[in-house]
Chains A and B, each alone.
Chain A
Amino acid sequence: MSGDRPGGPAEEDRLRLVPRALARTEPGDWLVRFAFGAGVSGLAGVMSTAGGPRLGGLFLAFPAVIIASMTLMARREGLRQARADAHGAIYGTLGMIAFAVCAVFLIGRLPAWAALVAAAAVWVVVGLGSYLVSRPVGRRLKRLRNI
């Protein structure tokens, strides 16, 4: 666990789950995130009522929540970390595209809850999977650039 393997991730780049990090988040930040999430969901609901469910669905992928996340992160940890947040979200959106495609295919074929669970699993596989694949590829590219 200590030290860096040649070609492996730097200590700061190691994947970790740190539950106590939740305690460092200010209560106001949770409120902001809830408000953004509720706001976008409400907007999608209003658009759905006004223009039909397909139009409302467009706004289910409106990037309001990540804007909240980036601004909170920029304020707390600086622009570099906010940029890392946005970079990571690129992989999340690949998963989101897969989620939506999977949901379209499965809704009607499976019970609604099962279709959503399966689509969420696809998001995990594609989103997290593409991120995990990008790590060694990115390190290799960085080493090639430094030659």
Chain B
Amino acid sequence: MADKIVEVVLKAFAGGLFVLGFAALAEMMTPKRLAGVFSAGPSIAMGSLLVTAAFMGEADMRAAAEGMRAGAVGFFAFCLVTAALLEYWGVWRAALAGLAGWLVVSVPVYLLLLP
């Protein structure tokens, strides 16, 4: 149990650090649309997958990447929905609608891609 907690804490820390790195790149870039590319960078994935490889091995790391495919397709749907609604609904309502889009798309894709 203790090693699971350490693993989760390390993933959280690594994810936070990688997010800061990508965010720093995004802050330095103009125009904002280019910076937005980095807002959808694999920052969390890189930190988390590295920790998974170290704690659980490559088989689990590969399985995590398999699940990520579905989440990434859902993320694409999130961005489409949010970009379309943001100026009319404001950030929070548009983001909520986008999250619904993420769920509606990523879950079926996840189930479809199950081995």
Contact = CB atoms under 8 A, between A and B. Distances in A.
B20 A33 contact: yes
Interface string B10-46: 0111111111100110111111111111111111111
B64 A53 contact: yes
B104 interface: no
A93 B22 CA distance: 14
Interface residues of A, number: 83
Interface string A104-116: 1001100011001
Interface residues of B, number: 81
B40 A89 contact: yes
Nearest to B102: A63
A70 B70 CA distance: 23
Interface of A: 12-19, 21-22, 25, 30, 33-42, 44-46, 48-49, 52-63, 65-67, 69-71, 73-74, 77, 79-97, 99-101, 103-104, 107-108, 112-113, 116, 119-120, 123, 127-128, 131
